[in-house]
Amino acid sequence: MSQSRKRRDDEDVCFACFDGGTLPLCDHMGCPKVYHPACFKRTYAFFRPRAKWNCGKLF
């Protein structure tokens, strides 16, 4: 996974399509999920702002 914010226990494949690549991380504390922006009907530009993004999966 080529993401500089990768946490130790984050997943390496998209939770929606199970494919790898550049995957934005969920910002919810403790959530290891990563997704392709297209799987969330978003673009990579959506994830660039400093705002927090929550995938909606609560653990």
* pLDDT 10s digits, 1-23: 444 455 546 788 999 999 998 88
Angle (CA) 1-53-4 rounded to 5° is 30
What's residue 29's pLDDT?
83
In angstroms, the CA 28 to CA 48 distance is: 16
Q: What is the pTM of this model?
A: 0.66
Exposed, middle or buried: residue 23 (CB in 10 Å: 0-12, 13-18, 19+)?
buried
In angstroms, the CA 3 to CA 49 distance is: 15
- Residue ranges and CATH numbers for the domains of the chain are 1-59 (3.30.40.10)
Share of residues in the chain with pLDDT > 70 (%): 80
